[in-house]
Amino acid sequence: MAVKILRETHEASESIQRILELYGGHNPYGEPNFRAIWSESRLDWVCGKWTDTDESGEVILREVFEARYVPKYWVIKNRWVIERWQATTLSPAEWFRLTQPAEYFIEEGNLPQLGPYPSRGRYQLACIVQDSRQNFIPLTIDVVEEIVLKWEKQRREQVSQAAAVQADKDAHAAVEAAKDAREMDFLNSLAPEYGSGAVFQTR
């Protein structure tokens, strides 16, 4: 009897998973922010039009519109990947509106191309574990530490930059408010001279 291997699968060791938790922390649901996944083990929902063929790949058996749970990183072969959890920023209505399929799918029912709404967030690709020449490298504790620390450093830098931009906006707004206040004080100081008794106010 012939045995056909469809795809190779592996699981990260407990020590690797523990390092990811220690360095990356947890999301609001108590799950690790980072996780290591074998590229061909990772499945995700893809909705659309599927064409099924026979084993030769030449005879079309059927064409169907549906959701299928298929390899997410089908172009990444035999590699470890590090994924990072991301919160959902869209409402369910926005999610399904933005992920509706092409117009000709409507006839078969409206399928969200990205699958069910991720109410608990979802994991996205952060890094492919390979060298600068795109060669395979094993998933070791040192490699995982380096990847997660680089990601966290980038995140802190982005947060710092965002905070600096907001601080500049706040400072500019404070200067403009002070300027408006001085102008109103000046106009109000002139009002009695004209006998109007008017008080000027900003909008």
Does 5 reside within a domain?
no
Mark whether 151 and 59 lie in a shared domain. no
Mark whether 80 and 55 lie in a shared domain. yes
Mark whether 61 and 100 lie in a shared domain. yes
pLDDT tens, residue by residue, 35-54: 999 999 999 887 777 889 98
Confidence of residue 1 (pLDDT cuts 50, 70, 90): very low
Torsion of CA 171, 172, 178, 184, to 10 degrees: -160
Mark whether 31 and 86 lie in a shared domain. yes
Does 187 reside within a domain?
yes
Bigger pLDDT: 201 vs 186: 186
* pLDDT score recorded for residue 5: 47
Read off the amino acid at residue 137: I
Does 9 reside within a domain?
no
Mark whether 185 and 131 lie in a shared domain. no
What is the residue range of 77's domain? 14-137
CB within 8 A of 62, min separation 6: which ones?
Answer: 51, 52
pLDDT tens, residue by residue, 64-102: 877 888 899 988 999 999 999 999 988 988 887 777 655
